Amino acid sequence: MDILWEGLPVFSFAVQTIESRIASLWDNYFHVSEFVYGKRGVCVPQPKNPILHLQGHVIAEKIKKRELTCEETSKAFIERIHQVNPLLNAVVGDRFEEAIAEARYIDKVLDSDAPECDERKSFLLGKPLLGVPVTVKESLACKGLSHTVGLVDRKDAIASEDAKVVENLRKAGAIPIAVTNCSELCMWCETGNQLYGRTNNPYDSSKMAGGSSGGEGSIISAAGSVCGVGSDVGGSVRIPAFFNGIFAHKPSPSVVPSDGHEPEAGTVASSEFLGIGPMCRYADDLAPMLKAMAGPNARELGLDEEVDLSYLKIYTVHQSHFPLLTSKLVDSELLERQKQVCNFLEQHFCATVRDAGIKSFKYSPLIWIAMCSFSNDKLGAKLEHYRKETEKINPAVEIFKSLIGYSKYHWATMSVLLTESFHNSYPGAFWKFFEVGSRMREDIQDLLGNDGILLYPSYPHTALAHQRCSLAPMNFSFPGIFNVMHLPVTQCPLGVNSNGLPLGVQIVAGKNNDKLSIAVAKQLEKEFGGWKQWYPGKSSNP
């Protein structure tokens, strides 16, 4: 173990050097993905219907005031999905007819003057998200729709009831209209699987939408949905939100229920790592969505309380402490925009910016692996439960078959199985990183307290060409480390780079201080523009 510990920086340097060399060849000479996806893809057309530009909570208020009908609102988003989904492949199941029927019922009650409708009308008017169309990641059960998690072994799985979070959204008045694509078993940072194919980025269809909640990120950014639900155990709402230029929030542990999610969180430890979070185009929708999704548990977060950002403490991490085994450099435009964020907060809120001084960030990939491995919630057992074959999986063989196109599994899923096999054979191999992670969790919580935030890169690069993330699989640890640190994180868009692709940053707060990171995101949206109602590439009208 000591040899591994001491040799890690050298090994990391070798990995980074190889990755950067291959990436240079990939991007500048071989253009591998161009044979399949084209040198530059197309972007979705501008959303013209004014309803598509409204915030979710504004939609609810307009419906209550009868400035909008619930039916016309649902139809606007459904029509937009029909327009953009052929290009994006984000929506993989819908309940459009049922959603319109539910919308018509709401309109009928609200428009009725009959005395017997007064009680029902009052009941509906009390719902904070009344009539707001929402989409749901396919890994979360939505009654009557597919619930496969992109796994061939579950191709016939249909949800018999709603996941608890979907049930909570319905109680708040929201109307689920569709489920969206995810990576196989939510195990990879690009959304694609053998059942539904690959999801594209609305800014440039030759770019990845991120994962595992990539369908949500893509369709929300394309204005096919205003708000949605994703899940996050290693950056799975934040990576796609970043690549697609929208907001997302990974909440504090165990606040939003994960019942009805596949793979399920079978232990207390794994349920604390898995965050079911909102994904939205507008920062003002994060808190209403989070409250609705959490149900009674939302009281723990005090989301209705005023947040004073005066004398905010801002922490950053020096580049020398960015994770080992990841890409050699973080894009300069991302670091420059983060610096601009610091300057803005300093000038407007008397904030102080300082280095967090936590060197353990270097070990983020191995800390995440170690802490997840010790959760005793094994993917292998779950996969065997899903499968119909009696023959046991050989992950090494399946990885090879996957790379040449002959496996029904994704190589990333099989890589997780290999890691589990290694841990089962050598259970003490990652123990030192588990200890480092446990100390780091205490240090970072003490550092942030109730008035501190940490600004941290969401990912080393903006949206990459399809498959390109395979060259540096450990890049997920930029967001993933905060799952095992038990911290809430808001992903905030910050405009676009010189190539017209979204920039962004993670805003990390202390445990149960979700309202602080969301409040900061609202301020940054005002300053840097948030979601851009503009797409840079050649537009397509599918």
For tokens 């922490």, the residue is 315
- Count how many residues are written for the chain: 542
Catalytic residue flag (residue 212): yes
Query: How far, in Å, are 214, 334, 507 from residue 491 at the CA level?
Result: 14, 13, 6
> Which runs of consecutive H residues, i.e. helices, occur in 377-430?
379-386, 395-403, 411-425
The bridge status of strand 502-509 relative to strand 200-201 is unpaired
- From 64, 75, 127, 137, active-site residue: 137
| Token reading at 260 | 């009805």
Chain CA centroid to CA 213, Å:
5
**Which residues, at least 6 apart from 146, have a Cβ–Cβ distance to it below 8 Å?**
92, 93, 138, 157, 158, 159, 179
| Ramachandran area for residue 89 (φ above 0: left; ψ -120 to 50: alpha; else beta) | left
392 is catalytic: no
Q: Are 507 and 489 in contact (CB under 8 A)?
A: yes
Tokens of 433: 């990183």
- The question of whether 522 is a catalytic residue gets the answer no
Query: What's the distance, CA 410 to chain centroid?
Result: 19
Distance CA 245, CA 261 (A): 25
DSSP conformation class of 290: H
Helix ranges (DSSP H) in 350-406: 364-373, 379-386, 395-403
The token duo for 313 is 């403490």
> Which among 146, 236, 373, 402 is annotated as catalytic?
236
Q: What contacts 229, CB < 8 A, 6 or more positions away?
A: 134, 135, 136, 137, 140, 165, 166, 169, 216, 276, 277, 278, 279, 293
The residues with which 507 forms a beta bridge, in sequence order, are 455, 490
Q: Residue 463 contacts by C-beta under 8 Å, 6 or more apart in sequence?
A: 201, 203, 204, 207, 208, 209, 210, 243, 244, 501, 502
**CA atoms within a 13 Å half-sphere pointing along the CA-CB vector of 126:** 7
| CA 2/CA 525 separation, integer angstroms | 46
Task: Report cis status (omega within 30 of 0) of the bond before 498.
Answer: no
Facing residues of 535 across strands?
none
Q: Which of 12, 74, 146, 212 is catalytic?
A: 212
- Give the residue numbers marked as catalytic: 137, 212, 236
